[in-house]
Amino acid sequence: MTKYCLFCQGPLNPHDLGIWSQTICWILNGALSSASLLQKTGIYAHNHCIDKASEMIEASLSPDRIDKAVEDAFEVLDEYHARVCISENDGRCKCP
């Protein structure tokens, strides 16, 4: 039975070794060991695609990336303030 990887869209056989299947379940108070009522969703992925996606998520959540995103956001706000608030009010800031 041929299915396709969620990430790369490449073909895969769900019964092959190294294929991940997405499963939803209920857990008690966040304890993964309490997983119950597991249901497969029919969504599959290659092992290397899961690894790559995990690495990308971890990298995007690193403190350095978050700090850079905050800096970028403040820079955008500063530019907006200079362009809109000050320029439209004859050089006087009218921010509350």
| Secondary structure (3-state) at 71 | helix
pTM above 0.85, yes or no: no
In this prediction, residue 78 carries a pLDDT of 76
What confidence tens digit (pLDDT) does each residue in 5-62 have? Answer: 999 999 999 999 999 999 999 999 988 889 999 999 999 999 999 999 988 888 777 7
pLDDT at 96: 55
Strand stretches in the chain, DSSP E: 3-4, 11-12, 19-28, 31-46
38 three-class SS = strand
Could you tell me which residues come within 8 angstroms of residue 3 by beta carbon, excluding any fewer than 6 positions away? 11, 12, 13, 14, 42, 44
Q: Which pLDDT does position 46 carry in this prediction? A: 95
User: What is residue 95's predicted lDDT score, i.e. its pLDDT?
Assistant: 64
CA distances from 94 to 22, 39, 75, 84, 86 (A): 52, 56, 19, 10, 7
